[in-house]
Chains A and B, each alone.
Chain A
Amino acid sequence: MLLQNKNFFQIFSIPEAYDLDPVLLAENYRELQAQVHPDRFANASEAEKLQAVKSTSVLNDAYETLRSPQGRAAHLLQLRDVDVSKVSQSDLSPALLFEQIQLREELEDIPRDEKSLNKLDHMRKQIEEKVRDCQKLFVKNSNTGQLLRAKSNYYEMQYLFKLLSDMDAIEEDLLGY
């Protein structure tokens, strides 16, 4: 089964690279959905329905993975036989850990009231800048075969995205959603 292919870039017939064209990805995704979605098989046999559900699930997973900056990085590393699920001490430099602890403390120090929304916003911009830097390094390192460094960039990205999502949660709390 083609869609069971583990290389998500191949599924969408796009170049295997971190920087991708999101419009092309979305177009190819819709094109494939139109072929395999269970709605195309609503009146079909159970076997085909099941097949369609499975194919579409893989397709959705592939799309989500490639669309996500973190997911895409992890996938590229996996394709180069780097297992990101196991973190070893050497992947994380003391400098990186120290910076993350500082950022965490900075977030903790922001008072939890509505006046802090600006502060949160300011901090978010700062983190987003860091994410962009980190992504550039990831591209450079993965392209030049420095996979251990790329792996470390990936973990840094992961820390930063986790921080951003925690900031979202705090903001939602403050806004009362």
Chain B
Amino acid sequence: MALLQISEPGGITTQTERKRAVGIDLGTTNSLVAARCGDSVETLPDSQGRHLLPSVVRYLPEGQPALTGYQALDGLLTDPLNTIVSVKRLLGKNGDEISDNSSFLTGRFVVDQTNDALVITTVAGDKQPLEVSADILRVLSERAESYLSGPLDGVVITVPAYFNDAQRQQTRDAARLAGLKVLRLLNEPTSAAVAYGLDSGDQGNVVVFDLGGGTFDVSILSLQKGVFQVLATGGDTNLGGDDFDDKLAQWILEQSGANSELDPGERNALLHLARQMKHDLSEKDPIDVSYADWSGSLDNEQYARITANLIDRTIKVCRRVLRDAKLSIAQINNIVLVGGATRMPVIRNQVQKLFQREPLVSIDPDKVVAIGAGIQADVLIGNKTADSFLLLDVNPLSLGIETMGELVEKIIPRNTTIPVARTQEFTTYKDGQTVMLIHVLQGERELVSDCRSLARFEVRGIPPMVAGAAKIRVTFQIDADGLLSVDAKELSTGTSTRIQVKPSYGLGSNEIENMLKESQENAQSDMKARALKESLIEAEQLLEALESAIAVDGDLLTDDEALKLSEAGAALKKALQTENSREIHRLTEKLNGASEGFAAKRMDVQIVDALRGESIDTMSQDGK
């Protein structure tokens, strides 16, 4: 609880029970969940001791529950149309963008014409990609809940650093659908750096090279005194281990001269063979290969040639990110490898050659992201008070708006530290114009058609004036999760509009509500109990925090403010007896609102104190 944190920055001593917070790595091919176990944060196994959960969901007919993970794997061969893999590649994508990925996908896709959202047709009905993700998240959260013996208080979910706004939004929505409270979306490379950085207590610059199943990220971080600052990040959301399998599969078809017209089951079998070969090449060189009635062999050198194009793409991204970070190779102190695909010798060799340094691999590259997320979750929920650290991340893609001639004007350039807010003033171009259309885009290119459309919205009710006289100030805010919100204000009348950004992709928030309702109806009583418990915890935390804050800083309040706070507090306390979760929630929000000004005042005091302690000393040391 923040108010409490402010009053006792040294640590919460009265804590009675550890809160349950976990980190989830929602991967393209595999997913994991990690939590604090004693002194260290570890990934949690299933009942059979397996840590990885294959990110595969198989839907079954007639109301049977879906199969997930290892149970669903058989379906890839026997029931490919109802077995969904690599769903992460579909999150936040629209119909056009999917064709790039088509070779990895099983199942039947339909593009919803009304909102350009993608739907997968299964025997259990139409599924949105985020519903499939939510099914995977549910299994992981159940695993964690049984391990930690109780409901989760919050989760940190990792996303590729290079994920755009749409992909982040959908990840958050998937978590909401799975009934999880997201403390933070954490970028995967940052998470890996946390897993490594905290142990070593190192200072310096770290490159994280993260090649997962379907995405590729490179981030450069500077570590100093418990602050992890991302200097630059780059990547490719359509490049991963799957692409290496695909290249190998093509090679097998060419070499064997086998029929390349495959049905979905045969295709999955071929990809499975290719994946196995890729794994074997990390252990053995050369390997024997056989497919249909053909047999041959393959060594890593040949493999490097087959995949040269993919490897080049990763190296190019590394150079680009170094440049963005304004660092030379000599200034890099460590390389961290993340993602199962970095086990490939062809990748390790190239990375080592580029950075002229042996990469760190002491933590399992499959688990390192989840472990970092688990550490961060523990800190965010407020469990860990000693050697607390801070992550300063950046936005991976530039944010801009459409201007005349279908051009994009950048408003927030890529690699700006988030959260960030920028304002821009717009004016009308016609006499008497009362409506203005603003189109927000993400990407590095100059033409609108080359960037990702995030949102289009209208500013209405502009008073009619001559062209160029009206002034509309638009504020773009990117929060710590990398998500965008927009505010517009018409300056001549001073009317402020909080703009509902209608996403150009996927779901509106009503649709999420509806899906949430449906899923709640399936497990209603369970959810009701949970909602009540959550609202009680939330209310009690707020009351407790506020009381201790008033005890310390009560003198900052005017009499009127103090009265309002105590009234709102009393109303909430009374509601706690009613077991009405909605009412408790409403009154909690009300008390929250009433404490807003108090929070701001306390933060000011805190800042002044912080600077008084540190910077004045430092300045006088400089002799000024």
Residues of A bordering B, CB below 8 Å? 1-3, 12-15, 21, 24, 27-28, 30-49, 51-58, 60-61, 63-64, 172, 175-177
Contacts and interface: CB of A to CB of B under 8 A. Distances in A.
A46 B421 contact: no
Contacts of B542: 45
Contacts, number: 145
A42 B615 contact: no
B615 A13 contact: yes
A21 B622 contact: yes
A1 B227 contact: no
15 contacts: A1-B604, A3-B604, A13-B615, A14-B615, A21-B622, A32-B610, A33-B227, A35-B606, A39-B391, A42-B154, A43-B2, A43-B183, A43-B381, A48-B2, A48-B3
B98 interface: no
B227 A60 contact: no
A32 B611 contact: yes
A12 B615 contact: yes
A13 B600 contact: no
B624 A15 contact: yes
A47 B108 CA distance: 44
Contact of B316 (A60, A64, A177): A177
Interface of B: 1-3, 5, 153-154, 183-184, 224-225, 227, 316, 319-320, 323, 379-382, 390-392, 416-422, 477, 479-480, 541-542, 588-589, 592-593, 595-596, 599-600, 603-604, 606-608, 610-611, 614-616, 618-619, 622, 624
A48 B253 CA distance: 58
A39 B380 contact: yes
A175 B319 contact: yes
A47 B614 contact: no
Contacts of B477: 53, 57
B316 A176 contact: yes
Contacts of B611: 13, 28, 31-32
B480 A44 contact: no
Nearest to B611: A13
B332 to A, nearest CB: 18
A42 B479 CA distance: 12
Nearest to A21: B622
Contacts of B320: 172, 177
A38 B615 contact: no
Contact of B419 (A3, A30, A31, A60): A60
B610 A31 contact: yes
A44 B596 CA distance: 11
Contacts of B596: 47-48, 51
A2 B419 contact: no
B420 A57 contact: yes
A1 B615 contact: no
B619 A51 contact: no
B615 A28 contact: yes
Nearest to B621: A24
B2 A64 contact: no
Contacts of A36: 603, 607
A175 B616 CA distance: 46
A32 B227 CA distance: 12
A51 B603 contact: yes
A139 to B, nearest CB: 16
B322 to A, nearest CB: 10
Contacts of B614: 27-28, 31
A68 B622 CA distance: 22
Contacts of A53: 419, 477, 479-480
B343 to A, nearest CB: 27
Given A13-B611, A38-B419, A48-B2, 9 more contacts: A2-B607, A28-B611, A28-B615, A31-B610, A43-B1, A45-B588, A46-B592, A60-B419, A177-B323
